[in-house]
Amino acid sequence: MRIVVSGYYGFGNGGDEAVLEAIVGALRARIPQAQVVVLSAAPDQTKSLHGVAGVSRTTGALPAIAGADLFISGGGTLIQDATSARSALYYLGLLGLATVLARATMVYAAGIGPLRRGWLRMLATEVLNRVTLITVRDEDSRRLLQELAVRRPVQVVADPAFALDPVPATEVRDLVGVPRAPRIGVALRPWRDGGFLEPLVDGLRAACREIGAEVIALAFHPERDLAVCVQAARAMGGRALAGLSPREMMAVVGALDLVVGMRLHALVYAVACGVPPVGLSYDPKVEGLLTRVGVRRLLPLPSLTAEGVRREVRAAWDERHAVRARLAAQAVSLREAALRAADLASILLASRAGGKEG
């Protein structure tokens, strides 16, 4: 049995690698006999990191998809045109091919949208109406599919990374150090002209003075994020961490007292580990996650002010004990929801196998 997985894999983005690790782990637990093949920008690296067969996401895609028992698109926000039309066209193109060449197809815990271009919206409707099984990670994605007139049943699950387990805290103790003071994690990425950084740093610096906290900047996609993380950390007398595996980064987040994040998976890890999050909202997925867990600590980047940052971070600090208790219950249900996508994939494959045998 062969399962082919397509996503933004092999590019060094810690969030996407966390999604892949969680998907592969969940599938292996349920379908141990399956061979998992991943379409990757760095096939050898993907094979080494995840113990799967890695093939080129360009030249290796067609041979891998042909005859596959299941083609999975996801997770992550793949079908969107916020950055360019190319991303949505690539993933919809592969999914469309798979509806013809593979035995079954699945959208796995994906974020969908935004889709602004009319022709891409029509293409998405056409392709997704041919997919065997659709699961999305949030309610906003379900609503967009409904708006696009996707008639296939759509099930809302949760981001696959909610099913990850961090490495033991002892394995990251040297990275985070002895807690001499409260620790605030800041997960940044480049955005527009970088004008958000000055008010963010000024506001965080003021909040840290009031709380007596230190800052640890977390680079989830080092190639893109490290420079801005180092710049912010230096400005606040903190330090930056990069180059960690998904489970190591999750353990680091779990050792913090508060997380301020642009990167979605910094906030996913925070929720999963019961660490109060503050979202830096540059994309609807950030607001969507925090709304789902009932923690509406959001700082919209376009209107960011130093005083707004100070006030929101201080408020999150003051309510941290109550929020931790709420997140503990949320984390359990989100983990179950994340694993439900793998359950559905397993049921789909079993039903197809049973149909062939009958």
Q: What is the DSSP string of 226-248?
A: HHHHHHHHHHTT-EEE-S--HHH
Name the token pair of 273: 């580990």
Q: Identify the CATH number of the domain defined by range 2-156.
A: 3.40.50.11930
Looking at residue 357, its pLDDT comes to 39
Looking at residue 355, its pLDDT comes to 59
Mean pLDDT on 103-110: 98
Percent pLDDT > 90 in the chain is 94
Beta-carbon contacts of 67 under 8 Å, excluding residues fewer than 6 positions away, are 2, 101, 102, 103
- Angstrom distance (rounded) from CA 288 to CA 305: 22
Cα-based torsion angle of the residue sequence 51, 57, 59, 65 in order, rounded to the nearest 10 degrees: 80
The full length of the chain comes to 358
Q: Which backbone phi and psi does 92 adopt, to 5 degrees?
A: -70, -35
For residue 306, pLDDT beyond 70: yes
Looking at residue 276, its pLDDT comes to 98
Mean pLDDT on 117-132: 98
Q: Which of 335, 336, 170, 325 is nearest to 251 (CA)?
A: 170
- Angstrom distance (rounded) from CA 352 to CA 144: 29
Looking at residue 282, its pLDDT comes to 93
Looking at residue 352, its pLDDT comes to 85
Mean pLDDT on 85-106: 97
- C-alpha neighbours within 13 Å on the C-beta side of residue 96: 14
Q: Identify the CATH number of the domain defined by range 169-333.
A: 3.40.50.2000
For residue 281, pLDDT beyond 60: yes
User: What residue segments make up the domains of the chain, in order of their start?
Assistant: 2-156, 169-333
Average pLDDT score over the chain: 96
For residue 162, pLDDT beyond 90: yes
Mean pLDDT on 17-34: 98
289 close to 279: Cβ distance less than 8 angstroms: yes
CATH topology match: 2-156 vs 169-333: yes
Looking at residue 253, its pLDDT comes to 98
Name the token pair of 82: 């916020």
- Angstrom distance (rounded) from CA 351 to CA 357: 10
Q: Which of 217, 229, 287, 221 is nearest to 253 (CA)?
A: 217
Looking at residue 217, its pLDDT comes to 98
Distances in whole angstroms, Cα of residue 43 to Cα of each of 5, 51, 64: 12, 11, 13
Per-residue model confidence as pLDDT tens digits over 234-272: 999 999 999 999 999 999 999 999 999 999 999 999 999
Q: Where are the alpha helices (DSSP H) in 33-179?
A: 43-50, 61-65, 85-101, 118-128, 139-147, 173-176
Beta-carbon contacts of 169 under 8 Å, excluding residues fewer than 6 positions away, are 251, 254, 255
For residue 358, pLDDT beyond 50: no
Per-residue model confidence as pLDDT tens digits over 166-224: 999 999 988 888 888 999 999 999 999 999 999 999 999 999 999 999 999 999 999 99
Count other C-beta atoms under 10 Å from residue 224's C-beta. Answer: 15
Name the token pair of 52: 């799967």
For residue 292, pLDDT beyond 80: yes
98 close to 133: Cβ distance less than 8 angstroms: no
Count other C-beta atoms under 10 Å from residue 117's C-beta. Answer: 14
Looking at residue 175, its pLDDT comes to 87
Distances in whole angstroms, Cα of residue 351 to Cα of each of 27, 82, 344: 16, 37, 10
